[in-house]
Amino acid sequence: MLTERIEQQLEKENISLNEFQELLVRLLNYSILCREESHVEQQLYDRYLRISTLVDEYLGIIDVRVLHDARFEYIRLYPPSSDVPGMEEAHETAFSGSLRSRLSQQEVALILVLRLQYDKALREAQVDDQGFVTESFEAISIAMKNIIGRTLPEKPAERRHLFNRCKKLRLIDFRHENDVLKSESWLKIHPMIVSFVNDDAIQALEKTSPENSKTHSENQTSTAPSTTDEID
């Protein structure tokens, strides 16, 4: 039986079937495990390292893929037919961060901006030793307007919900819930934002963003002949 085979493999690492089940349930419920997040997740992450092959094979039966980033110490699950960075034979999709995640348009817009801001900081070498990028809420708000052409929610409850959603997905971190209402407060963008949003989505956004359209229009204006040139 499958259970007996699993127990045999677990016994080699001195891990019980209940501990194996606890790890799987946590991964399937949250689709993300970040070692630095809490003591519980640290224990589960370290447990995964000991039985990673077994976990990957078990989830592979239902075509759930596991992305393990050893450098930043996090694990993320990807549902069947999703685009997983570094893995072949996956269909294209912009977001593959949560097994049953349904993102609103506002959440999609914010996450895309977070990815672009992270890439910008990466190019400018503004990333800390843990791979995090620090941005002010004001900078995120401005980027939303310039890149997406949208504004952050005006109502405090809606804005809190938006940023808390991204925090739950482990894409950002901030100290206090009310920080999202203060333009001078800061948040950290997690490096896993890179694996959450694929490059195709970013390239498509860059081509259609209001900021890019404005630049293109300005370039056309600067290269167009002046009235004097036309008369001459």
Query: Is residue 228's pLDDT more than 90?
Result: no
Residue 34's SS3 state is strand
State residue 211's pLDDT score: 56
State residue 85's pLDDT score: 57
Cβ count near 6 (within 10 Å): 17
The DSSP call for residue 146 is: I
Q: Which of these, 67, 77, 66, 74, lies nearest to 101 by C-alpha position?
A: 77
pLDDT tens string 130-159: 899 999 999 999 999 998 899 999 999 999
The Cα 230–Cα 232 span in angstroms is 5
The Cα 185–Cα 204 span in angstroms is 30
Residues whose CB is less than 8 angstroms from the CB of residue 176 and which lie 6 or more positions away in sequence, other chains included = 185
Question: For 150, how many CA atoms within 13 A lie in the half-sphere containing its CB?
Answer: 13
State residue 44's pLDDT score: 98
Q: Where are the alpha helices (DSSP H) in the chain?
A: 2-12, 17-30, 39-50, 52-60, 105-123, 137-143, 156-168, 193-196, 199-208, 210-223, 227-231
The DSSP call for residue 177 is: G
Query: Is residue 207's pLDDT more than 70?
Result: no
Mean pLDDT value across residues 101-105: 79
pLDDT tens string 13-63: 999 999 999 999 999 998 999 998 899 999 999 999 999 999 999 999 999
Residue 173's SS3 state is strand
The Cα 126–Cα 157 span in angstroms is 31
